[in-house]
Chains A and B, each alone.
Chain A
Amino acid sequence: MALNKINETHQLGPMSSFFLIQVTQIGIGFFSFQQPLSRFSAQDAWVACLIGGLSSLGVMWLILRLLENEHKYGRADLFSIHTRIFGKWIGGVLNLATIIFFMLYAAIYLRSYIEILQVWIFPQLSILVFTALFCLLIAYIVLGGMRTIGGIFLLSFVYMIPLYAETVFAVPGAHFSNLLPLFDHGPKSLLLSVFYSIHIYLGSEMILFYYPFIKHPEQAKKWCYFALLDTLFIYLMIMILGTAYFSQGEMKLTIWPTVTFWKSITFPLFEHVDMINIVYMIWILLPSMALSAWIVSRGIKLTFPVIRQKYALIFVLAVFIVVAEIVYNGELVATANALFSKLGFCFNYIYIPLLLLCQWIVKKVKGEPA
């Protein structure tokens, strides 16, 4: 099959797995994750953040294991794993479920960003116009293929560095005594926080789809783990800073703690760094959205080979626009986000180990490939 072998001119270097994973992990959760985390473990939320991040390393190990095993059988991505292990029909249904999950996930992600835009910058921003224009941008990126998407990821990583760096200017407003007393919470409340921290680390599982597009995957492995550690570091810093910056009382009332402490940073011509940063965060949204659109449209193409990816892409973008319109207020956005972070948790921590198990069973039953 022509699809099995990805032409080298469409592939990305091993190092790009670093950018792809790091940038997909950092998302809209970056604005707001401190609040749900500290709901259960107050000043010890950073411990939960740390544990959640470390557990993502374990998930990555499982995922890479899964993909490496699959490598012998041909194209190593989730869609092919499904059809190979479960056969054409059940595999097809699972593929369809995956497609729908990622499609809705991406659409809700886009909608959450619009919510922030509406609250902080343009209260009257038309969702329809913005999503339509944004989807045009995504279409332009995805039509360029995986290499263009890789480029967007790399640039996004580079562009985000100043954003993380400038957070240093909020440090003078922090009271590090807020972090005391250390380790004051029992395992139960910590674990609850860990559960809520999982959703900020979601995104790394997308490697299940673009893995065949990475040259020399064995070299890419270390970059995958580096990316996870980098994300962990960034979230940990922001978490600690957030806890130190706000008292626990304030934290309960602040929906977007990161944006709020950005407000204390001012530069001569940019009195409101928070507004610039929110606009700047379009570069966090863009790569993940483009990758999701690419994954979903590719999934449609692989599941229904009659449909070409170009046309599938149009459908996917139309769904983005429609879903963003349907989720009409902030409460719905919050509900949808909560639902999808739970689903994401199930996908990463339950479904992937199960899939690995199935793969192992199939290998035992059918034997090694020739």
Chain B
Amino acid sequence: MFRNKKRQQQASKNKDPKTIGDVLDHLGKSRDFVHFQHGNTHFSCWISYFRTLIDIDYVHRDVFPFLYSDSIRNMADIKDQLPLEKLIQTKDIHEIQSKLLEGYIIIQKDERSPECLIVPSVKIQGRQIEKSEVETSIIGPKETFVESIDTNINLIRKRIPVPQLTLKEIRVGKLSRTQVGIIYIDGIASEENVNTVLQRIQSLEVASLIDATMLALMITDNNWTIFPQFTDTERPDRVSGAVYEGKIAVLVDGSPNALILPSTIVEFFAAFDDYFLPWNISSAYRLLRLFAVALSALSSSLYVALLTYHYQLLPKDLLGSLISSRSSVPFDPVMEVLILEVMIELLREAGARLPTKVGQTIGIVGGIVIGTATVQAGLSSNILLIIIAMSALAAFITPNYRMATTIRFIRFPFIISAQMFGLLGIGMCFTYFVTHLIRLTSLGRPYIEPIFPFRASDLKDAFIRLPFQLQNSRPMFLRPGDPARMNTTRTSQEKGKKSPDIDE
């Protein structure tokens, strides 16, 4: 242990550059590092940059012409005359090194002089804003986040044009120094929540950070849970809605996902499209989704329990067809279920990993051909095939992908406990999961909030969504700085109007 520590110290000592010369020598080993002297009659300087990181057109067009002009006599002149807003003059070696690696240009008087001028010239290259593919929307906005944090912030900021919208920046990752942006509306978001998020992200000890979902796993309240504790979304409209509500959004450079914190479990089953439909229809769809979750988690285990222990529960007429369909199957119900479940999991995983075009074919081949063949070969019964297919379908009704995988996963403990104790086993497994959910927190806030602790006012936008005019307060769950969404005196005045009688 101690030796390890010593070794680490030595390693960091070796790597730590001491002078600007060390930095340039070290970087000079890369082929894309450009380091040259520019000189004319009355002024000369050294310029260094990574040609793969900087916007070369921009530099040639807007930076170099000024450097080569006659009016430049010394370093101070450059600072005065370059028409750029963010010129930094520094001797800090670490800053110079990190800026070089981000795509800035360094200008020095002499090759070894510690005084450097840092000129921004970052090339932003990434894909265009595209239509949402993961969280599709039929009538809502279709923009999605891209991999560049600046574009993503722009997408949010243009939806929230208020001065209180605050952006905090933290660098995460010992090596990667990834830019992480924390966005919230000052005065609406709970200060306690903001501080928790900042503190959790600042105290991270990691080497690198690639994606926002990785960050979500790193700052989660409970490392052992299979339930996602923070919503991840690729839709700026959803993020803006949440920020208006008093939540905090976290963006990571290089990630097309934003995190929304804190979250309750019901939010994972709410699609943002629910807000674009009349409240009664969207409430019905939310209930349908909950039913789908229950169906998906429980149907195969109920099959095992009923057929293994409690056949009394089945109607007599159904029993006949069940027996005839199972008569050619040589396995126990549980084996039959596990075979089919694993098969479906294989199909799902193959569909996700294979290239798009092959994936579709596999889906059709797997779904239809293998399904029918399994029944004909006597590996499983027809009825089970229907149940399993339905439950697989139901699992993907969940709008959030991470929650959908969780829902797909929790059926396995249920199947095993159903085999052990029948309905009682299902009951106990259910109890275990419920206890787990009660104990979970998201950013220190209870995870199944509108249910426990029971808050009737937050139920307005949970299992059902009531009309917008009734949703006049922000969720109590978030402990918002300003709980009222609208001017309550005015809304009550409008309510005070008498409803007209017939034909008035």
Contact = CB atoms under 8 A, between A and B. Distances in A.
Interface stretch (B96-104, B137-145, B307-315): B307-315
Contacts of B422: 121-122
Nearest to B305: A279
15 contacts: A12-B453, A121-B424, A122-B424, A133-B428, A140-B432, A147-B438, A148-B438, A152-B434, A155-B451, A271-B314, A272-B313, A275-B423, A276-B423, A279-B424, A283-B427
A272 B438 contact: no
B452 interface: yes
A268 B316 CA distance: 10
A242 interface: no
A137 B310 contact: no
A276 B313 contact: yes
A147 to B, nearest CB: 8
B312 A282 contact: no
A144 interface: yes
B439 A275 contact: no
Interface string B418-443: 00011110111001101110110000
Contacts of B421: 122, 125, 130
A286 B313 contact: no
Nearest to B310: A275
A229 to B, nearest CB: 20
Interface in B443-461: 448, 451-454
B423 A279 contact: yes
Contacts of B313: 269-272, 275-276
Contact of B315 (A133, A271, A282): A271
Given A117-B424, A148-B439, A272-B312, A286 B454 contact: no
B314 A282 contact: no
Contacts of A272: 310, 312-313
A154 B452 contact: yes
Contacts of B309: 121-122
Given A15-B454, A151-B452, A275-B312, A141 B427 contact: no
A332 to B, nearest CB: 22
A95 to B, nearest CB: 29
B183 to A, nearest CB: 28
Interface string B153-192: 0000000000000000000000000000000000000000
Given A144-B439, A275-B312, A275-B313, 19 more contacts: A13-B453, A13-B454, A117-B424, A121-B309, A122-B424, A130-B421, A144-B435, A151-B438, A151-B453, A154-B451, A155-B452, A269-B313, A271-B313, A271-B314, A271-B315, A272-B313, A276-B423, A280-B427, A282-B427
Given A148-B439, A154-B454, A269-B315, A137 B428 contact: yes
A279 B435 contact: no
Interface of A: 12-13, 15, 117, 121-122, 125, 130, 133-134, 137, 140-141, 144, 147-148, 150-152, 154-155, 158, 268-272, 275-276, 279-280, 282-283, 286
B427 A279 contact: yes
B323 to A, nearest CB: 16
A130 B453 CA distance: 30
A15 B455 CA distance: 11
Interface of A (DSSP majority class)? helix
A276 B424 CA distance: 9
A117 B310 CA distance: 13
A68 B315 CA distance: 56
Given A154-B452, A271-B315, A272-B313, A282 B424 contact: yes
Interface residues of B, number: 25
Interface string B53-92: 0000000000000000000000000000000000000000
A125 B423 CA distance: 13
A137 B423 contact: no
Nearest to B316: A271
Contacts of B454: 13, 15, 154
Contacts of B312: 271-272, 275
A272 B313 CA distance: 5
Interface string B348-362: 000000000000000
Among B426, B432, B435, the one with the most A-chain Cβ atoms within 10 Å of its Cβ is B435
Query: What 3 A-B pairs come out closest when comparing CB atoms?
Result: A151-B438, A151-B452, A144-B439
Contact of A148 (B315, B435, B451): B435
Nearest to B436: A140
Interface string B286-327: 000000000000000000000001101111000000000000
A272 B423 CA distance: 12
B424 A137 contact: no
A286 B436 CA distance: 14
A18 B423 CA distance: 29
B365 to A, nearest CB: 33
B433 to A, nearest CB: 11
Contacts of A137: 428, 431-432, 435
B210 to A, nearest CB: 34
B438 A152 contact: yes
A282 B421 CA distance: 13
B431 A282 contact: yes
Nearest to A270: B313
A134 B423 contact: no
Nearest to B318: A269
Contact of A155 (B424, B427, B434): B434
A286 B423 CA distance: 16
A279 B452 CA distance: 23
A147 B439 CA distance: 8
A13 B431 CA distance: 23
B262 to A, nearest CB: 15
Nearest to A117: B424
Contacts of A144: 435, 438-439
A13 B309 CA distance: 42
Among B309, B424, B428, B453, the one with the most A-chain Cβ atoms within 10 Å of its Cβ is B424
Contacts of B310: 121, 272, 275
A93 to B, nearest CB: 35
Contacts of B314: 269, 271
Contacts of B431: 137, 282-283, 286
